[in-house]
Amino acid sequence: MTNSNLPISILESQAEAQRHKLHDDVIELRSSVRETLDTKKLARQYLWPASGAAAVLGLLLGYGLTGIFTKD
């Protein structure tokens, strides 16, 4: 709003257009974040790698604890 010679109606319509664009951008951002952080999709996508990592971690932890308690 650097030019004060513009009629108020033009400035109001520009402000309304900017509000609508901002509103649309926020809606788009929300939907993209919702898609990115979809827990069901992530669980399906990374089920086997997470299961494998948990199995290896459990095996190592069990082996380590068994070694601590069964020292000769």
Instruction: For residue 70, name the pLDDT band (cuts at 50, 70, 90).
Output: confident
Instruction: For residue 4, name the pLDDT band (cuts at 50, 70, 90).
Output: low
The answer to whether 32 and 24 are in contact (CB under 8 A) is: no
Q: DSSP per residue over 25-63, as a string?
A: HHHHHHHHHHHHT-HHHHHHHTHHHHHHHHHHHHHHHHH
Bigger pLDDT: 21 vs 2: 21
Q: Which residue has the tokens 């827990």?
A: 39
List, for residues 15-64, the tens digit of each pLDDT value.
999 999 999 999 999 999 999 999 898 889 999 999 999 999 999 999 99
Above 70 in pLDDT, residue 1? no
Above 70 in pLDDT, residue 72? no
The CA angle 54-55-60, to the nearest 5 degrees, is 100
